[in-house]
Amino acid sequence: MAGEISIDALLPQEMATKAEYLGQRKAEMPLLTMFALAILAGAFIGLGAMFATTTAAGSAAVLPYGVVRVLTGLVFCLGLVLVIVGGAELFTGNNLIVMAWASGKVSTASLLRNWGIVYIGNFVGSIATAIMVFLSQQYLFGNGSVGLTALGIANSKVQLGFTQAIALGVLCNILVCLAVWLTFSARSTIDKIAAIIFPITAFVAAGFEHSIANMYFIPMGLLIARFDPGFAAAANLDLSGLTWGAFLLKNLLPVTIGNIIGGSVFVAAIYWSVFLRRKSI
């Protein structure tokens, strides 16, 4: 009926048009606004990572591996829920701006400007959250099980091979961008949260690698190892490979490359070619 407001979810074609519009808006955002929202997103993902670490602490002793991974992934969803519903700029999700770029509505310079500023802002927010959590000594909770888990997570991430880290990054951001893509269909906050839960839980449960989450996970382990060496020694782990150089070059670099490929090529480019390519010809 004329004037009636639809409450149905948007269809994929409408989602693609919305993604194109949102990508253009994101690319045109003022620098300081973009940077501030990127810091928030980094902090939000860091909070999700903290929640996941706390949930995983001690769980392996009483629950099967798969159950622990699913629970960890479920609580990690907090991060993207805060980003999407609260409003923030996340580098991995912003790979979908490629849809607006492919349609000629966003220049290459504007695309790279957004990615660069948002990536740096995410880094600042994630590191700041790790520092605050460390200073709170939350890692000592559960008789130190939270800290032991944090060290184990950080140490395992810097042991990945370069190609392996890229592949894990590709798979991760396919799921992250699919989660963001699904939120474009939403008509309500509950719709958005429901769309986020399964893809994000899946990537964490599967052990895929998210560059922004790793900006919290690995620095948290590094802070514990550097500023509480007694606690780190008691963890009975070989932490010789857990260094800032390993964090940046052996994990963050390949995982970021993989995230860009996964989100830009396997989600954004494919959906653009299906729903928007003919419009732009």
Question: Is there a domain that residue 270 lies in?
Answer: yes
Tokens of 150: 């944090």
With beta carbons less than 8 A apart as the criterion, state whether 89 and 36 touch: no
CATH of the domain at 82: 1.20.1080.10
CA angle, 85 then 214 then 176, to 5°: 45
pLDDT of residue 60: 81
Question: Is there a domain that residue 2 lies in?
Answer: no
Question: Is there a domain that residue 5 lies in?
Answer: no
- Give the pLDDT band (50/70/90) at residue 280: low
| Boundaries of domain holding 255 | 12-276
Question: Is there a domain that residue 118 lies in?
Answer: yes
pLDDT tens digits for 103-155? 999 999 999 999 999 999 999 999 999 999 999 999 999 999 999 999 999 99
Question: Is there a domain that residue 7 lies in?
Answer: no
pLDDT of residue 197: 98
Question: Is there a domain that residue 6 lies in?
Answer: no
Q: At what angle do helices 189-206 and 162-183 cross, to 10 degrees?
A: 160
- Give the pLDDT band (50/70/90) at residue 2: very low
CA angle, 262 then 263 then 267, to 5°: 95
If one counts the domains in the chain, the total is 1
CA dist., res. 195 & res. 201, Å (int): 11
Question: Is there a domain that residue 4 lies in?
Answer: no
Question: Is there a domain that residue 147 lies in?
Answer: yes
